[in-house]
């Protein structure tokens, strides 16, 4: 299943090894899901995760970039040939919704589900990392 990880998930994973965000990020690559990525989202990840306040203790911006390159190597790169802005209240969130739609993602994993109200109209659901972790760790039943 294809999904998009909002930047908030990576920030939470960088700040704490406890919680669903870290568990999801640490499970990449996964047989249960594949993250999708656009150039715009990757640029946002780089900008946000290299800020000093988001770096784990003892880590540098270069460490963060190395990790992001790993995530990008595991992601499905998606071109986006259309823009529907404004659809959501934040243009950065519109970028994520456009990626999810173009890549056929069922979920946008985010800590800010309220920011994605209305995305269901395009066949995508905004879901918290905890709820998504419950989905991907549920035993498979045929």
Mean per-residue pLDDT, 123-132: 96
Q: What is the mean pLDDT of the chain?
A: 92
If you write DSSP's letter for every residue of the chain in order, what string do you get? -EEEE-HHHHHHHHH-SSSHHHHHHHT-S-SS-EEEE-HHHHHHHHHHHTSGGGSPTT--HHHHHHHHHHHHHHSEE--------SSSSSHHHHHHHHHHHHHT-SEEE-S-GGGGTTGGGGT-EEE-HHHHHHHHHSPP--
Residue 141, pLDDT > 70, answer no
Q: Domains in the chain, please, with CATH?
A: 2-137 (3.40.50.1010)
pLDDT at position 93 is: 87
pLDDT at position 121 is: 86
Residue 81, pLDDT > 90, answer no
Residue 65, pLDDT > 80, answer yes
Percentage of residues of the chain with pLDDT beyond 70: 95
Mean per-residue pLDDT, 50-68: 93
């Amino acid at each position: 299943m294809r999904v998009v990880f909002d930047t908030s998930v990576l920030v939470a994973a960088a700040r704490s090894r406890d919680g669903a965000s870290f568990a999801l990020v640490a499970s990449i690559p996964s047989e249960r899901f594949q993250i999708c990525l656009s150039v715009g989202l990757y640029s946002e990840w780089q900008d946000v995760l290299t800020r000093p306040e988001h770096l784990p203790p003892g880590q540098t911006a270069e460490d963060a970039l190395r990790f992001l390159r790993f995530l990008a190597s595991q992601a499905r790169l998606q071109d986006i040939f259309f823009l529907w802005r404004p659809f959501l209240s934040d243009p950065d969130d519109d970028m994520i919704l456009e990626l999810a739609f173009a890549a056929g993602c069922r979920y946008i994993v985010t800590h800010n589900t309220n920011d994605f109200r209305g995305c269901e109209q395009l066949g995508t659901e905004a879901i918290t990392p905890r709820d998504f972790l419950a989905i991907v760790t549920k035993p498979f039943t045929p």
